[in-house]
Chain A
Amino acid sequence: MDGVIGFFEQLGPNLQILGERMPLIVEGIWVTAQATALGGLLALAISIVFGVAQVAKYSVVRIIARIFVEFFRGTSLVVQLFWLAFVLPQLPYPFGWQLAPLAIGVLALGLNYGAYGAEVVRGSIGSVPKGQYEAISALSLSPVRGMFRIIIPQAWALMIPSLSNLWIQLLKGSAIVSTVLLYDLYFRIEQVRDQTGTWFAFLFALLAYYLIAWVIVILMNALEVRAKHKIGRGPALSKSWGTLFRSPGSVITEGSLFRAPISGGGKA
């Protein structure tokens, strides 16, 4: 019942099995969505805090932020996941926490991709033209006010494409969480596989992940249009619905190529 031919021969019965198993699969999709959304939020918070800290006035703050970022970027996601799941419970009091699988997944995804995101935030703040900083002092705005009213709105518009790519990376990375007993979409599909055959189950899984990724793309495209409009660099969202469906691959343009290594199209 396997192989490409089997895929088409068995399509009808397989769809029926899929229908019967749908409640479990939906549960898996829900877990993946939770891990992706919560992990993404944690990652965003970490990116902003540690991104801004890396350009802070005090070198102590900068150095601590730098160490944090390098540490979580340098040790692989899977290692962090396993460390939280297997090592943390074995540590002595006051540690020795046995976290819930979802908490492990969210923490590992958030810390790892947050560290990458911090680089994106740092790079974007650095890419805001120097004249804008000069304008802050010319208008005698306080540095904090200038940061929040002038620099960050512009940096935000710059960083969204890279953050969007990172969030998709996080979604894709979340497929590993079943190794620490979090029953996500991939885990549920693996359960269905015995009945439907490999091709059907995995093509369905890939398609499901692909569609979730597109939800992220559309959401982030909307955010980008809005951010650009707010700093006067593009049409309002209501006038540019078409741009929502722009593929994330098309964000690396000539101008951002040299920034891309820092933001790395999202990675490294």
Chain B
Amino acid sequence: MNPSWWDWDHAFAVFPLLLEGFKITLLATVLGTLIAVVLGLVVAIIRRIAPGIIRTPVTWVVEFIRMTPLVVQLVFANLVLSPYIDSTLAIGIWVLGIHYTTYMAEVYRAGIDSVAKGQWEAATALSLPQSRTWRAVVIPQAIRNTLPALGNYAISMFKETPFFVVIYIPEMVRVAQTYGGDTFRYTESITLAGLIFLAASYPTSLLIRRLEKKLA
């Protein structure tokens, strides 16, 4: 039965297209998270050990990126870089990753701060070199403390991939919008896109909440 406001034919027609778009959404989330997790740690360490002449500008740039809109950054980067980089998706993923790097750096910083002072002292007492202190003592403990927050930011990144519509990357929401524009039926495509988001993000956030309880 087809009520007037919901057309199953449209729903079945758009669903596979949405799943195609969802692949891009997932790809962007995974690669963006990877970038943010790695660069975030680098930034956090720079802000901890680098001399002021490097630390101050890094801090400024990080803060500026964190406090300005992802949408504007996406369009800006796309306009500037598109003559040199063919893939808009690659530009989008890097911008997303770098934007979240600035959040992750804060998370790591809090994680590093939460490593007990005695751990640093023990590393000095054992005369471990600085690189070894970080690698074998500080970072493993810091990362354990930050896992839930990192997970939450990954989910949040997942839900911000639709901002890619501003540079026309065909991720799921863009696909839904295009389908709506072509057929003048937005109801099924946009509603389904929202439900797919919900179906994917809710279980993940439950998982992270359990992880949180376990680690706390």
Contacts and interface: CB of A to CB of B under 8 A. Distances in A.
A78 B193 CA distance: 10
Interface in A169-194: 171-176, 179, 186, 189-190, 193
A144 interface: no
A169 B205 CA distance: 19
Nearest to B161: A76
Nearest to A79: B194
B198 interface: yes
A137 B78 CA distance: 60
B68 A83 contact: no
A68 interface: no
Interface in A241-268: 247-249, 252-254, 256-258, 260-262, 264-265, 267-268
A70 interface: yes
A74 interface: yes
B106 A249 contact: yes
B14 to A, nearest CB: 13
Contacts of B194: 75-76, 79-80, 83
Contact of B5 (A91, A198, A206, A214): A91
Contact of A76 (B67, B148, B173): B173
A265 B114 contact: no
Contact of A264 (B67, B68, B152, B198): B152
Contacts of A174: 69
B106 A252 contact: yes
A186 B69 CA distance: 9
B72 A262 contact: no
Name the residue among A168, A248, A265 with the largest chain B CB count within 10 angstroms: A265
A206 B195 contact: no
A86 B69 CA distance: 24
Contacts of B149: 257, 260-261, 264-265
A258 B186 CA distance: 41
B71 A186 contact: yes
Contacts of A75: 194-195, 197-198
A189 B68 CA distance: 14
Contact of A70 (B68, B156, B202): B202
A248 B64 CA distance: 12
Nearest to A96: B5
B63 interface: yes
Contact of A209 (B68, B180, B186, B208): B68
A202 interface: yes
Interface in A120-173: 168, 171-173
B216 interface: yes
B93 to A, nearest CB: 17
Nearest to B150: A261
Interface of A: 70-71, 73-80, 82-83, 86-87, 90-92, 168, 171-176, 179, 186, 189-190, 193, 198-199, 202, 205-206, 209-210, 213-214, 247-249, 252-254, 256-258, 260-262, 264-265, 267-268
25 contacts: A70-B198, A76-B173, A77-B162, A79-B173, A79-B193, A82-B190, A86-B180, A90-B185, A90-B186, A186-B75, A190-B75, A198-B79, A206-B64, A210-B64, A213-B68, A214-B67, A249-B62, A249-B106, A252-B106, A254-B110, A260-B110, A262-B212, A264-B149, A265-B107, A268-B159
Interface of B: 4-5, 62-64, 66-73, 75-76, 79-80, 103, 106-107, 109-111, 113-114, 145-146, 148-149, 151-153, 155-156, 159-163, 165-166, 173, 176-177, 180, 185-187, 190-191, 193-195, 197-198, 201-202, 205, 208, 212, 216
